Structure 1
Amino acid sequence: IAEGGAEWHKLGESNTDPNQEHDGWTAHWEPFDSMSYVDIVNEFQGNEKGIIVDIVDLNYDDYVDKDGAVYPWTEHSPSGDPIPVPDPNGTGVTWFQRPEGFYVSRTLLECDKLINIPAMKTHDIPGETTIFKQYVGTYMQNAYGGGWGKGGLHVFGNDKVPNGFMDLYSYRPTDYAVVEGIWGVEGNGPQTGDDVKLNVIVAGGDPVATEAVTAQIMGFNPYDIYHLHLAAAKGFGTWDMNQIEVVGRSIQEVRRPFRKPSSWATGPMGIVRWLVNGPYEGTSIDPDYLNGEAGITPEEGDVSNGHVWEVAECNLRDDRSTLSLGGGSGVINYAFTWIKSDSQRSVYLFAKGDDELKVWLNGEILNESGKSSLIKLITLNEGWNALLVKVLNTVGESSVEVKLQDNDRNTPMGIQYLLVNTSRVVEGNKLLKPLSFKLSQNYPNPFPRTPGRKGNPTTWIYFELAQPGHVTLTVYNVIGQKVRTLVDKNLPAGVNYSVWWNGKDDLGRNVGSGIYLYRLTSNGRTLTRKMMLLR
């Protein structure tokens, strides 16, 4: 049982007040049948299987540098360099907070399996704190001086704390997560909020999906949780509810919206992908550079006034959902997206641009020129809504950020930001790009176990659907025997799906090295590819 809370000193250690009578390990927690960690350990000692049950206080744990040198917790000036942040899934994404990496807990690096058991709480930085925020406890503060708290993760600003705990998570990802929602905390958590008795347990092998479901139970839209975007970018799982199957009671059955913290440093998230066009030279935002800007609904690759509409994504590491439009004095840029809504609804639109902006929704102007920000209650139609933003930059760097929020500061559930309107088949005489039925090569391939890490090899399989319908994605061995069913459900089209396989069969047993086939079937069509597993 490992924990790294910074709110107590462990009894019997050199830095503990001799008058201290209890610590977090010996304290009895009344709402939990007055149990203590020490009681749990004692109960399981001498078990029939001979398994040793013990406590590791990570605040007193040894830590390791990049060359494998081990330091005791009393060493506050390690001679070696920290360990660079790993990329365990081969996504090409490494660090989010510290390019040099971290000193890492020896226990964390050496454990065979890691089961993560967080409590369900709100938090004034990431919004909610469950699986990933737990890794703040693995920060080895003793390697950075004699302080006892975890403040070293705040030195780059509170809004960069999620970047730090996602870096720490990368050294030893969770194998299985069990979110404890028997008691939770709402309001200004995690320490000064109000207790909530929910009696819910959320468990899963995809930590991103498990936290996404937990967030929705708590009344958050998973889209708004910044660190879930970071986790997905590193290949740790998916927060897209279209790709998550919930077994047991439904989310709606157990959903109990938590009161949000009064401040929320990293959320909610705005639009992170756009089609952009420009720049155009100009000192006024009023001229129409597109010859019909109000009604334009472009696609990637379209040309307007000699400029190509291109996909642009926000820099998640540094800017979250603020899109950089580049620099220059006296330049105009456009940004476009579709907003798909499952019903007609009223929402608040928040927009800001450097230095002046105009916003159109479904061809109607929402603001007058001369302003750099906009807050407006708007009505989204059921179905597809066209959003166009025009930004004038007078000097320096230019950017734009747009968010849609409900009365509870969420991106409303039931809306999606999409760059392709999948309802359009023909517009005039122009054949629009069709949706594709596509099965991509798994990545990585071959997929070995990550060097230096214990556990199973993992790979990701990506696919797209041309039509909605029932989908199966199945792994077979080379003689045609079914090994694992990865997907067996109805899915919508227009989504880039990603599915993780860990080299196990349907019974949870490891399969051997060799070539395997993975087959995608939907609407009477089938695609098959090969992959190689190395152990």
Structure 2
Amino acid sequence: QAVYQFIISNTGNGELTFAMTFEPHHEEERDEEWDQLFGFNATAATEDHRILGVLFAEDRFFVSGGDNGEAVNRVYEFDRAGRLVDQLDQPCRGLWGMHDLAWDGERIYGGCGAWIYSMNLEGGEVDSIRSPLIPPRGLAVDPETGDLWLVNSDDPIYHLDSDGDVLGTAPHQLRPYGLAWRADDPDGCPLYIFSADGESNLAVSKFNPQTGDFRFVVSLELEPDDIAGGCEVTTSWNGSHWVFVGVIQNPAGDRVALFDAGLNRSWISVDPESGVIQPDNRQECDLTISTAELIGGEYAIDLVIAHNAAGGELRLPITMVYQRQWAVVVEDNPAGYQLGKVYPNPSNGAGVITFHLPQPGRVNLVLYNQTGRRVADIAQDHYEAGSHRLTFSADELPSGIYFIRMTTNRMVRTRKFVMLK
């Protein structure tokens, strides 16, 4: 976190009033709010005709399917380009499997039958709590408190704490299929609702838990026969903007679609936001930038100061380039899990990585660049106990600093190496 100070001075002979807000950078070429940004057909890639939930985390889409009936259903993994790269077994058996998905920064949540399940990104460390709704069709989680929000068709929206105790309910007139949480909603309505309400089968609304008010946002009219599914609101796709990610169900194939949901202001603030300055006086102001929740990239925003002096408005452009920092673990895991160093280092496009497992298990080896973006998958497979040696190629990647992250159900380890060409 960094704090920058600036001063507003009143050199006139009357009171100076001011109010400060943040707006999109006026020179930025950007989509209008609720324009579609991207999409892909999940059914075509998986042959699953019952795509239900979606979230975007660690530069991947996680999509829940329910086409296997009473058999084990899947959570499908797609890369940023919408290509199927892996699939996980869902931790439950049910007619449709996990419905809407939610993400708290560490774990995936999904409702199935009479239970709400959570697991890590590799499908391990499964936990569950009982749901007051059967099934919990729409599901959202507040990452700050761990509170859960559930809904199922005509039932009220349920508010639960992290232990599953009911904190409250809210009646509604919607037909919801997905819930999502956006902490810094500009209207104070952090719970987003994706519903099919007769007049619109792709309606987005939002709810203020403090006042109990619902607010209609937009109707996403795309193709005939489209119906809303699960949803998420995230800044992980594009850090400078909130993005609404929704499942669009259709008899011709279920899709995942992304929409611009507005400017991300959560990383920047100003204090005070407004005030009155007497003649020959000044106001000291603090501009605070916090990068704790940001992904790597460029952020551009305008600080707009409205005032009652000549001109009426001052617009100050702010641009920041942020490179995400990585914690590199070099010591061996006490339980016997080991990730060796990359050889050669620096590399000119190919390398060798070794690892050791004390017991059989699934291993994911993923390559990231220095901004934290996933750029390649080295291995996603089941390995026997013992030592393993893998050769990987990165000929298409430019020179720079990269990280290989090894993930199992019990540990995460990272190694750093340099690419020189």
Structure-2-length-normalised TM-score: 0.30
Structure with higher helix content: 1
Structure-1-length-normalised TM-score: 0.25
Q: Which of 1 and 2 has higher RCO (CA within 8 Å, sep 6+)?
A: 2
Structure with higher strand content: 2
Which has the larger Rg?
A: 1
